[in-house]
Amino acid sequence: MTDHPEKSLAMVLRGARQALQAEQRPLPEPGAGQVRLRVRACAVCRTDLHLQDGDLPMARWPVVPGHEIVGTVEALGAGVQALRLGQRVGVPWLGGCCGRCRYCLAGQENLCDAPEFTGCTRDGGFATHVVANASFCVPLDHLALDDATAAPLLCAGLIGWRSLRMAGDDARVLGLYGFGAAAHLIAQVAIAQGRRVYAFTRAGDTAAQQHALALGCAWAGDSGQTPPEPLDAAILFAPVGALVPLALKAVRKGGRVVCGGIHMSDIPAFPYALLWEERQILSVANLTRADAREFFAALQTLPPLQVHTRTYPLQAADQAMDDLRHGRFQGAAVLVPGQPG
Ligand SMILES: [Zn+2]
Ligand SMILES: [Zn+2]
């Protein structure tokens, strides 16, 4: 093993409800089947806030958060043939799976009994370098977006995509509850597919509502409002359980309510009549490599996405998380190592 004079800078969470700490570390070495990436950009996800809040019981401390990584391959571990040095790849939330459990064998690796989650059970991209399993990296050679713009696609885009698939191809009238990073991307995909999209935001969040309308949504309003027509399906991106009965009220008979988040406040009791008439409530958990292949292939056939980002230097990761927590920007926060503060 060579001795690297170069160090890695990582923003580390040492436990729940702590601030991030900057840490100099030796360059991480890729093991068999792994690659080391130089991180070019890493977006900040609401899941990073849930991690910091101690809402994710599978977290392994200390951990470097970040699972919307765009990087270039800098070192190849033994046996890696599918990736090459210098190649641009993305690293999403699902960082590994066992390949043997009933879910993996059934093509549902997102539900694996022994999964690895980037930036949660293994170190993620709030760093200058990261080691990833090569077979879970997404090649981004053909994506016509720069690094910071591409980063939010690795979770906000992918989870949005899986949620949209769950909503059903026949969902022509779609409600999106919570208009942040995921919704602003998937709204554009849904509209390009010919769907009508209604955006629901926190009461009085006119900035988010205007953002939704500017991106082509047919209507935008407060989450308690009744949309102009019944929805075929609703996707909930806001981690607010009280939205479930509101969304059930807004969908038609046989309609679906898809919960896209990893964590949500409790769902309040509601009358069975809201669920009756074959309405369904579903949740989306994680994503598969097939989702990533499909999503990035679909992007090739759609008009270019407008990805709204606010970039921060790596060392300002705490500020980025705080701004996300308080809804201080539209779109997605992205950490860019090397960006001057
Ligand atoms: Zn498995
Ligand atoms: Zn995420």
64, with CB counted inside 10 A (0-12, 13-18, 19+), is buried
Ramachandran class of 86: left when φ > 0, alpha when ψ lies in -120 to 50, beta otherwise = left
Q: 131 pLDDT exceeds 70?
A: yes
Report how far ligand 1's centroid is from the alpha carbon of 135 (Å). Answer: 14
What number does CATH give the domain 7-152+308-336? 3.90.180.10
Measured from the alpha carbon of residue 115, the closest ligand is 1
The 10s digit of each residue's pLDDT in 253-297 is 999 999 998 899 999 999 999 999 999 999 999 999 999 999 999
- Band (pLDDT 50/70/90 cuts) for residue 331 is confident
Quote the ligand 1 centre to 287 CA distance (angstroms).
13
Distance 93 CA to ligand 2 centre (A): 6
From the CA of 297, how far away is ligand 1's center (Å)?
A: 25
CA of 96 to the centre of ligand 1 (A): 9
Inter-axis angle of helices 156-167 and 181-192, nearest 10: 50
Cα–ligand 2 centroid distance for 67 (angstroms): 6
Long-range Cβ pairs for the range 194-202 (8 Å, 24+): 195/171, 196/172, 198/173, 198/174, 198/227, 198/228, 198/231, 199/175, 200/175, 200/176, 200/225, 200/227, 200/243, 202/238, 202/327
Fold exhibited by the domain 157-283: Rossmann fold (3.40.50)
**Mean pLDDT over the full length of the chain:** 96
Give the pLDDT of residue 4.
57
d(CA 283, CA 256): 10
Residue 267 burial (CB < 10 Å; 0-12/13-18/19+)? middle
Angle at which helices 156-167 and 289-301 cross, to 10°: 90
Question: What are the pLDDT digits (tens) for 31-90?
Answer: 999 999 999 999 999 999 999 999 999 999 999 999 999 999 999 999 999 999 999 999
Q: How far is the CA of 89 from the centre of ligand 1 (A)?
A: 23
CA of 308 to the centre of ligand 2 (A): 16
Could you tell me the distance, in angstroms and rounded to a whole number, from the CA of residue 18 to the centre of ligand 1?
Answer: 31
Which ligand is located closest to the Cα atom of residue 112?
1
In the chain, where are the structural domains located? 7-152+308-336, 157-283
Question: CB–CB of 132/37 below 8 Å?
Answer: yes
Centroid of ligand 2 to alpha carbon of 178 (angstroms): 15
The SS3 call for residue 104 is helix
Residues 6 or more apart whose CB falls under 8 angstroms from that of 273 comprise: none
